[in-house]
Structure 1
Amino acid sequence: MIAIHGSYYNNNFGDLLLIKLVENWVKSKVNSTIVYPMVDKQEQKEFKEHFPNSFIGIKQRETWQALVCTGGGYLGEPNWSHGKKLGGKWNKQFFRRHVLPAEICIWSNTPYAIVGVEAGPLSNIFVRHEVKRILSHASVLSVRNIESKKFIQDTLGIDSEVIVAPDAALTISKEDIPTTALNYVDSLLAPYQGMISLGIHYPSRFLCDTPQAELLRQGLFSTLASTPDVLPVVFSDCGSNNVPSDTEKLAKIIHNSTGKECLSLPFKGIWETAALISKLSAILTTKLHVGIVAYALGVHCESFATHQKTPRFYKQIGRASQCIMLDDISDKNIVIEKIERALQAARNQVSPINCQEYEQVKQNSLIHKQLVLNFLNSTIQN
């Protein structure tokens, strides 16, 4: 039995995609049952929709042959938790969600790999101590950017080998997306052929009652009102697909403010979201992995980031200008400029795939896959 752990909470596309990719890598190498140790009870039904044949829980921990911890940002605190040296919601959540799988392996001398994670910053002294312990005992350790490596080696003082490679989600290609998911998206967009489909992602951020969210809305409405060839496509990548979402709210506001028809697409599934991203002309997002997958699939993306991990990615791929921290937006013209750049790239069919660094970034991201395969080869007897 192989255990896979990640940040599989709130039905979140990016984290679920990373888990799905690692699951596929594991299945390609060994014929073993896969278990997910820490899925919350209230989220197990939706998790099973994405991973229908999975086992959940730690009851069979004595049969674990190995553990693979997938990528994600769960070894670094979000901006809003920075400075909380004692207590704090995120710090408590970290201990509840992410400690037990690795500790079980440490106690039982079961090998484990940590692949493609983001590490740091960490303010809480207890979280920092535990992360250092978990990282120090890993058989394999890779991170998705140089900042994480520096945090591990310089701040935590770990002298283990730390391999750096771009986010594992960059390994995705259009060939990975099931035909059923592509056909589903094609059917949604078919009535709008010839239009520029502008993805507007993570509507919750656009609906916040903050000065920056108001500037986002103003810039968006102003641009859409003057571009009759653009179809706004509001979509979400997390949460329950059975509950009315902020996608509907934002779509209605866009329609009422601009008079434009607007598609509203709540989260349906991992592959449906990947298929949608691949079919859009351009994307605006406040989150990380929609931008990563967009780049991997050749779609221009403009980022309004809310987490320090996001600008790290755009810097890594040589596209730092496409990402700005949301809190740094002080004028709606900044928003308008970014949206117009995305639309221009779409109209001119300018794709990241045609850039010199694209193939190298994609190739380097496969290092995480090879590390997983080598780890399993060295630890598992089929």
Structure 2
Amino acid sequence: MEKVVFCGASSIYGIDNFGDQLLRDLYMSWVKEVCPKAEMEFLMHKGLYSRKGDWVKSISSADLLVFNGGGYFGEKPFLNDGWIKKIIKKMAWGLRNDDVYGSAFRIAEAQSVPVVISGVEVGPISNPIFRRVVARAINYSSYCCVRNGESHSNAISMAIKGKKVNLAVDSAMSIDRDRINDLYPESLPSRVDRADRFFMLGLHVHELTDCADVNYFKGLVSKVRDEIPNGYELKIVVIHDQKKAGQHPARSADAERLLVNAIDIDHVLSYQEPGQLLKEVSELDLVITTKLHLGIVARSLSVPVISCPSHVIKTKRFYDYIEELDFCDYNKEGFKDGLPEKLMMYLRSGQYDGMCVKEAVKKSAKTSELNFKDAVSSLLADGRP
């Protein structure tokens, strides 16, 4: 029986985060389609510099190691920190990445286990140790595909001459309504209560730091309300995307409390599991989000998105790649010159049947899926060297 081992963001954060769990489930479903009997395992990180004996055992016995979407071969910009703190944080980020992705790669390389890289982000990488590891992984891999133009340029700069590095949109863009049911056939029903003459706005804010942030989102909601035709009532739903204990859900809860006190919220949806959240997002007319993957699946489901990114680099790259950078307020200016023209036309229309991404984007997602399946099928058929 073939064995495939995965290493992605879920290896660090677990699967109680919507985006990480969705990508894990998506990639595992793709492997299952081409090799139904394959044994699949996801590496789990147990802390910085923890012993990797179980990883050695898992990877050594595998026929393939997959670095899947959600993996981030790079670092945050830490824009709000002073230069000394920024250097320290970037070093820590690089060490953590090396301890996860670097450790997994070194074991695979030592044991001659084939590697597939699919849907990852690459760069910037200031840590020279981790940069060398990423370069080696790219060049060692049997198949490599990154998820946006800047990642592609960074990967190419580290690749040896003649090494093919593929480029495709984030794998989560392959999600549609049919795939929701395929991935999560037993998912919970949606809690979004749709009705005629309602405009359903999903507000997904995972962190607020001060009243200025509250006023920022209050201002965005006001801009949306001003464009909706008379006769429509704005309904606002607060969305969560994490359920585990820890600092991220705590910050989300704090954000919820501040928003509820400042904005007329109709309903708060706690996060239960990905299938339910996907159904709920599909029934919204607009999403305002600070995070990447909730925005990605909303666009994949033809729901327009206003992005207010907390992680600027990777989020800005995504919206630039799908040619919707004007929907991404990466400078947190609150669209002072007005909402994007395409969005205003949609809001004013009174016809809220979705806003599709360009056909080339969906085609890119499908091509990425097919290429990944072909690579996995071929490598598993060939067996280990």
Q: Tell me how far apart the structure 1 counterparts of residues 266 and 92 of structure 2 sit (CA, whole Å).
A: 36
Which has the higher mean CA deviation after the structures are superposed, 265-274 or 101-110?
265-274
Give secondary structure in 1 for the equivalent of 2:57: coil
Superposition map of 1:232-251 within 5 A: 232-240=236-244, 245-246=250-251, 248-251=253-256
2:7 equivalent among 5, 8, 13: 5
1:136-155 matches, cutoff 5 A? 136-154=139-157
> Which deviates further from its counterpart, 296-305 or 6-15?
6-15
The two structures have a TM-score, normalised by structure 2, of: 0.81
Could you say which residue in structure 2 is the equivalent of 1:196? 199
For residues 135 and 194 of structure 1, do their structure 2 counterparts lie closer, same or farther at Cα, with a shift above 3 Å needed? same
Alignment of 1:117-266 (within 5 A): 117-154=120-157, 156-159=158-161, 160-178=163-181, 184-185=189-190, 188-190=191-193, 194-204=197-207, 207-209=208-210, 211=212, 213-220=213-220, 222-223=222-223, 229-240=233-244, 245-246=250-251, 248-258=253-263, 260-266=264-270
- Note the alpha carbon deviations across 1:206-241, whole angstroms, 9 max, x for none: x21274x24423414645887871111111223427
Q: Note if 1:374 corresponds to 2:378.
A: no
The 1-side partners of 2:64 and 2:168 are apart by 22
The alignment status of 1:299 with 2:299, answered yes or no, reads no
Give the corresponding residue for 1:52: none
Q: Kindly state the Cα deviation for residue 87 of structure 1 after the two structures are TM-superposed.
A: 6.6
2:64 is aligned with 1:66: yes
Aligned to 1:16: 21
Asked if structure 2 preserves the Cα contact closer than 8 Å seen for 1:197 and 1:280, the reply is yes
Answer yes or no: is the 8 Å Cα contact 1:36–1:57 preserved in 2. no
The verdict on how the C-alpha distance between 1:139 and 1:298 changes in structure 2, with shifts beyond 3 A counting, is same
Matched to 1:367, the amino acid is: T
Q: Deviations over 1:72-129 (max 9, x none)?
A: 3510111118973897321222122222222111001111110111101111111111
The residue that corresponds to 1:35 in the other structure is 41
User: Matches of 2:23 and 2:379 in 1, distance apart?
Assistant: 22
Relative distance call for 1:219 and 1:116 in structure 2 (3 A) is same
* 8 Å CA contact retained: 1:251, 1:263: no
Judge conservation of contact 1:143–1:165 (CA < 8 Å) in 2: yes
Aligned with 1:123: secondary structure?
coil
Out of 333, 336, 341, the position equivalent to 1:334 is 336
**What's the offset of the Cα at 1:163?**
0.7
Structure 1 CA distance for aligned equivalents of residues 345 and 251 of structure 2: 23
User: 8 Å contact 2:286–2:305 — kept in the other structure?
Assistant: yes
The count of corresponding residues between Structure 1 and Structure 2 is 356
Cα distance between partner residues in 2 of 1:225 and 1:252: 21
Deviates more, 1:363-372 or 1:285-294: 363-372
Partner amino acid for 2:326? S
- Letter aligned with residue 208 of structure 1: T
1:5 and 1:58 mapped to 2: Cα distance? Answer: 13
Taking the aligned partners of 1:183 and 1:85, their CA distance within structure 2 comes to 43
Contact 1:144 1:164 in 2 (8 A): yes
Please report the TM-score for the alignment, with normalisation by the length of structure 1. Answer: 0.82
1:346 to 1:115, Cα distance in 2 relative to 1, 3 A:
farther
Specify the alignment match of 1:267 in structure 2: 271
The one of 322, 327, 331 aligned to 2:327: 322
Paired with 2:371 and 2:347, the residues of 1 have a C-alpha distance of 39
Task: Provide the C-alpha distance between the structure 2 equivalents of 1:99 and 1:35, rounded to a whole number of angstroms.
Answer: 18
**Residue of structure 1 equivalent to 2:50:** none
Root-mean-square deviation over aligned CA pairs = 3.3
Match of residue 75 from structure 1: 73
Map Cα deviations across residues 281-308 of structure 1 (whole Å, 9 max, x no partner).
Answer: 1100111111111111010101112321
Q: Which runs of 5+ in 2 are unaligned?
A: 48-53
Counterpart-to-counterpart distance in 1, 2:189 and 2:345:
25
One-letter amino acid of the counterpart of residue 374, structure 1: D
Contact 1:165 1:365 in 2 (8 A): yes
Q: For structure 1, which runs of at least 5 residues remain unmatched after alignment? A: 42-55
3-state SS in 1 of match to 2:192: helix
Q: In 1, distance between residues paired with 2:233 and 2:154? A: 46
